[in-house]
Chain A
Amino acid sequence: MAVFRPAVGDRRRKFKSHLMMLVLMAAAVLGSLPFLFITWYVLQKGLGAVNWDFFTQIPKGPGETGGGVANAIIGSGVLIFLASLSGIPWGMGVGIYLSEYSTGRTARILRFAVDLLASVPSIVVGIFVYGLIVVPFGFSAYAGGIALMIIMIPVVARSTEEILRLIPAHIREAGLALGVPRWKVILRIIVPGSRAGILTGVMLAIARVAGETAPLLFTSFGNQFHARGLNQATASLPVQIYTFAKSGFEDWEQQAWAGALVLVLFVLFINLTTRLLMHQRGAKGHAG
């Protein structure tokens, strides 16, 4: 069996193979370095300013020490809640329609439109909502929530669609063959069966909007105090970080770092939870 003995070109081939693998490995390691550096840097700079007051107090005046960003944390929560309230069901509806009902040309056009919406720069969304809501009604949590909702819808829609597409057609047919109307097959069998995957997309959409700054600058604006209602200008963590960071006061800059730390940890937490969910789904998904 002389053909299987090492030949002259073999060493060269193996060397090339190893070299390529090393290049790719280096790319992968270098690609994840920024995240590690960011986390490390934010931890170093921000951890010092994280204390009880930081979470419970509102900002002190410029140049004064102490105070916190409680208003911004609550504000962010309110904005994310408002955005989710409409953005999640709306996005899911679009995703379900794209996956289950639309065919051919309509589907292609719709999917393209959703993709375009997903790639509109978030500051443009902010300006759009500014013209639509803020000009007639003023800065408010509503306006901020709507801006974030517009960013959320395409993210939720496409992830819902992708997840539903993973379910093979014969599962839907099995539902129809039981004498269940199509809409019930979708809403009561297919969607609940994909809940882990859909939830993953929803969580990632929440993580995405949690860090948005640009669309909030023109909509919820910002507030150094607690907002007195949803129709008031409302503080949010990203905008608060922005304001503090460019203020020039050392204490505020410290708190901007701490705010950044809280934001990074929040997004990290959502991503980790999502991972866990995905893992669970994989574990019980395709046995047998």
Chain B
Amino acid sequence: MPADNFEREKAIVNLQHEILNVDNLHAWFGDFHAVKGVSLAVQQGQVVALIGPSGCGKSTFIRCINRLHEEVPGARVQGRVTIGGQDIYGRGADPVRIRRYVGMVFQKPNPFPGLSIFENVAVGLKLGGISKRTVLDEQVERALRQAALWEEVKDKLRQPGTSLSGGQQQRLCIARALAVEPPVILMDEPTSALDPISTAKIEDLLHELKKSVTILIVTHNMQQASRVSDKTAFFLLGELIEYGETSQIFTNPARPKTEEYITGRFG
């Protein structure tokens, strides 16, 4: 794939004000209907929090946005998802290319075993065809700075990624996702395995990141949702119950179910 073409397409994506639009999305695992007709639109540069009790389909929902859901045997998707106006489930849309526009950070920090800190961040670029040493060095440093990890690792880039602490590993994974400069990043409970200090660092990071990236974050922590997000989507049993400004959802929810959940009456 020619790099300049890739850059131009990315620029087109960046121009769109509404970066993500999901229309009537359904997802299944075999017979289990995990996501039931969810529609939602996300503006560029926003942080959207997805909340709801375990098993309500939030994770499955975001895994449909980078087409990772379909990698699970027996999984199926139906509906329309556009990123920058382009239908990612359209005819001929290639999941591998789509995933370059939509990065992902997972629940457990998962740096690639056996790869150094540097290689972990560079691997997406390298396997995408960039081999120039100076470009790699530059991009790796930029991504690590963006992930607020550079100062901690700049003297030990050759050490294995797995030698870092859990919180550092998670920021390494964020840097790995940022290195290929995706306009959208999905985060699936990125702090649920971390201590409060590491969690705070990552939350601070989100405020910085949203200047350049649109973020969808799944979280079980309602304080976290209210702290980091502009908009909040409340999921229950595979359905999107309510979606709106975070301040409104947490102070004056429109639906009784939402209020019950955020005040801790179930879930």
Contacts and interface: CB of A to CB of B under 8 A. Distances in A.
Given A179-B124, A184-B127, A174 B73 contact: no
B221 interface: no
Contact of B110 (A174, A184, A188, A196): A174
Contacts, number: 89
Interface stretch (B133-141, B163-171, B231-239, B256-264): B163-171
A174 B66 CA distance: 11
B190 interface: no
Contact of A173 (B68, B100, B101): B68
A176 interface: yes
A184 B96 CA distance: 11
A88 B25 CA distance: 46
B92 interface: no
A174 B71 CA distance: 12
Contacts of A175: 112, 123
Contacts of B68: 173, 176-177
Interface stretch (B15-23, B149-157, B172-180): B172-180
B183 interface: no
A171 interface: yes
A178 B177 contact: yes
Interface stretch (A36-44, A122-130, A249-257, A280-288): A280-288
Contacts of B2: none
Interface in A48-104: 103
Interface residues of B, number: 37
A288 B106 contact: no
Contacts of B101: 179
A174 B169 CA distance: 13
A192 B71 CA distance: 22
A135 interface: no
A285 B162 contact: yes
A179 B173 contact: no
Interface residues of A, number: 27
A179 B123 contact: no
B166 A189 contact: no
B114 A288 contact: no
B163 to A, nearest CB: 5
A181 interface: yes
Given A176-B71, A284-B163, A167 B113 contact: yes
Contacts of B66: 177
Interface in B95-131: 96-104, 106-108, 110, 112-115, 123-124, 127-128
B160 interface: yes
A9 to B, nearest CB: 45
A62 to B, nearest CB: 54
A195 interface: yes
A180 B112 CA distance: 13
Nearest to B106: A170
A131 interface: no
A170 B110 contact: yes
A193 B106 contact: no
A180 B71 contact: no
A181 B96 contact: yes
B32 to A, nearest CB: 18
Interface in A138-155: none
13 contacts: A171-B110, A174-B106, A176-B99, A177-B99, A178-B123, A179-B98, A179-B124, A189-B123, A192-B114, A284-B160, A284-B162, A287-B163, A288-B163
Among all A-B residue pairs, the 9 with the closest Cβ atoms:
A193-B114, A179-B100, A177-B104, A179-B99, A178-B124, A193-B113, A180-B127, A288-B165, A174-B110
Given A177-B104, A188-B127, 7 more contacts: A170-B110, A171-B112, A171-B113, A178-B177, A180-B128, A189-B112, A192-B115
